[in-house]
Amino acid sequence: MPFDSHGHLMPGSLPNIRQVPQEIVRPPYVGLKTPPPHVGDNTYTTEEVDRIRAAGRVASRALDAVAEVVRPGVTTAELDRVAHEYVISQGAYPSTLGYRGYRASSCTSVNEVICHGVPDDTVLREGDIVNVDVTAYLDGMHGDLNRTFRVGEVSEEVNLLIERTHEAMMRGIRAAKPGRAVNVIGRVIETYAKRFGYGVVRDFTGHGVGSSFHSGLIIPHYDSAPAYGDIIVPGMVFTVEPMLTLGTHEWRQWDDGWTVTTRDKSVTAQFEHTIVVREDGFELLTVSD
């Protein structure tokens, strides 16, 4: 029973926990209630960035595989299976599996789900949208990205929301320059989103990523100044992952402890990349090549 009589999402049935071959190295938090504290700052050497890029490539190619199977009739559990199989086929670990008790290898967030949707037996319909968020852990590093996919053809309003959310992410990324505070990223994203009257989600943010999944560094997607004044420096690695909505930025969470929806059940989209900041710009670390 994935959608109610208004077409809104409801919790479905969860698939069994997916297995990861024993030879694949687990991140340190697996089996713990909370992750061990992050060690180090949010900057990485060239050799470490190479490893984050390798993890990010696996995650990006996993989403390429997911993109191939998104269509009306597919379940979110099936999208998760495709992501899971690709990640483990590369000898990497799907970072969300066992992270703070989360039980799947991706997040699948449909329509009004802002983020952290749990893959289940929900059957996607023509006109739905689904964000799939995959993080891969390889050689001690995490690479984290997400994309929003259209299921068949979507309304023009939703199509524009998706396009502009991607553009908002890219504008935020381009604003990430050494010497600026990280809240500049959010200011740029919010200013762009407000042109179209979109809601800008505040309580879920970008983050430092690399040797830890979430390092403690917060990257806001709204104009938070003077809060989040951390100064960007070369070698810094973090995600930019704005969530924009057709209505409110306010949210509620399902009793599953994960699924976050808009309060007004308006449709919401998200894109995410992991980036490294350079003296003269940035590099995307979550690309397929």
Q: Are 110 and 76 in contact (CB under 8 A)?
A: yes
Please say which residue, 112 or 272, places its beta carbon nearer to Co ion: 272
Shortest spacing between CB 173 and ligand MF3, in angstroms: 15
Work out which of 107, 158, 173, 189 binds ligand MF3, going by CB under 6 A: 107
- In the chain, which ranges are E strands? 93-94, 107-110, 113-115, 129-138, 141-150, 199-200, 206-207, 218-219, 237-240, 243-245, 251-253, 260-262, 268-270, 273-278, 281-284
Work out which of 102, 166, 235, 263 binds ligand MF3, going by CB under 6 A: 102
Per CB under 6 A, 133 contacts ligand MF3:
yes
Which burial class, exposed, middle or buried, applies to 80 when counting CB atoms under 10 A from its CB (0-12, 13-18, 19+)? buried
Work out which of 44, 86, 93, 99 binds ligand MF3, going by CB under 6 A: 99
* SS3 assignment, position 275: strand
Per CB under 5 A, 133 contacts Co ion:
yes
Interface of this chain with ligand MF3, residues 232 to 251, rule: CB under 6 A: 239, 241
Q: Residue 102 binds which entry of Co ion, ligand MF3, none, with Cβ cut-offs from 5 to 8 Å by kind?
A: ligand MF3
Q: What order of strands is seen across the sheet that includes strand 260-262?
A: 113-115, 260-262, 251-253
Amino acid identity of residue 153, one-letter, is E
Size of site (CB under 6 A) for ligand MF3: 14
Which part of the chain contacts ligand MF3 (CB under 6 A), choosing from 4-12, 99-107, 161-169, 248-256? 99-107
Please say which residue, 123 or 170, places its beta carbon nearer to Co ion: 170
Per CB under 5 A, 239 contacts Co ion:
yes
Please say which residue, 17 or 153, places its beta carbon nearer to ligand MF3: 17
Per CB under 6 A, 100 contacts ligand MF3:
yes
Q: How many CB atoms neighbour CB 196 within 10 A?
A: 12
In three-state form (DSSP H/G/I as H, E/B as E, the rest C), the secondary structure along 73-103 is CCEHHHHHHHHHHHHHHCCCEECCCCCCCCC
Please report the sign of the dihedral spanned by the C-alpha atoms of residue 8, residue 11, residue 13, residue 16: positive
Interface of this chain with Co ion, residues 61 to 100, rule: CB under 5 A: none
Residues at the contact surface with ligand MF3, assessed by CB under 6 A: 96, 99-100, 102, 107, 116, 133, 135, 144, 207, 239, 241, 258, 272
Residues at the contact surface with Co ion, assessed by CB under 5 A: 133, 144, 146, 239, 272
